[in-house]
Amino acid sequence: ASDFQRAWILCVNEFKSVKSEIKELESEILLAPKNKMMQKAQLYTKVFASADGVESLTGDNGVESQFANRFSYLKFEGSLEDRPLFQSVGSDMYFKSVSAYVATWLNKAVGEMIKLGEESARKESTAHIKGFHNKYGISESFGDVKDNINEIAEEFLLYCLNIGQTKRTLKRTYDSLEDERFGKYMFKQYGTSGLILTSPKKAFDDWIDSTYSNSQKIGIRKMKDKIFYLMPSIKKHQIQKGTMPMRKYGILLEDTTI
């Protein structure tokens, strides 16, 4: 924990992927050095630097909401080694100068907060952090998954329409189909012009596995209930289990959707 004493910034360089432990990095970190007692250290600013994109943080449909609320994002171009000042003073002096500048700025800001008193300082700091995140929040650059949930639901419905057969095959079976299996999925006739996919959760899991990267699957799976809720084609149908009829949800594939 001594490494964290008087440290304002925890910097993770060459950041490659998001792990579940990152969500635990809030105001303190738990340290368990070998053959020593477990300790806690205070955390303030966390900086994650990467020269490449972090796929597990940003996906095609945006950033998972819990990360959108935690991360701000700044993108920089070029290389320090190309800067004339860096070339003239060298890497060691450049690093020392930047470190001294950051330390001076932080100490000055802390002094101003001390003068304000605890309550006013908390209010001022909270407003500053909120303003910074509103401007640089990662969802401002990549979008938030929850903002694209309607599109995700539409994509899943299209997947359902093409499970194991073409739309034409589905249409041909309407007149004769009752309860019938197509591949891994069960369908049930709905009226005279539609089918119900009676295994929507199985279809959803398969769609996730075939569509998203491993790092994105967990976040999308958590949205399953919301996605189902947004699908106008979700319908209740009755099934027989023993002697007791049961009500169950399925995805209606109507003639109008094909």
Model confidence over 215-252: pLDDT tens digits?
Answer: 778 778 888 888 887 776 665 555 544 565 556 667 77
**pLDDT higher at 160 or 173:** 160
The mean per-residue pLDDT over the stretch 204-217 comes to 83
The predicted structure's pLDDT at residue 86: 93
* Separation between Cα atoms, residue 220 and residue 197, nearest integer Å: 21
Please say whether the beta carbons of 156 and 227 come within 8 A: yes
Looking at residue 127, the DSSP 8-state letter turns out to be H
Query: Which tens digits make up the pLDDT trace of 170-186?
Result: 445 544 444 455 556 66
* Residue 208 to residue 152: CA distance in whole angstroms: 11
- Distance between CA atoms of residues 57 and 221, nearest Å: 15
Listed ranges 28-42, 48-62, 85-99, 234-248; the one with the highest mean pLDDT: 85-99
User: CA-CA distances (angstroms) from residue 60 to 143, 145, 212?
Assistant: 9, 9, 9
Residue 256 to residue 155: CA distance in whole angstroms: 17
Say which amino acid occupies 182: F
- What are φ and ψ of residue 56, in 5° steps? -75, -10
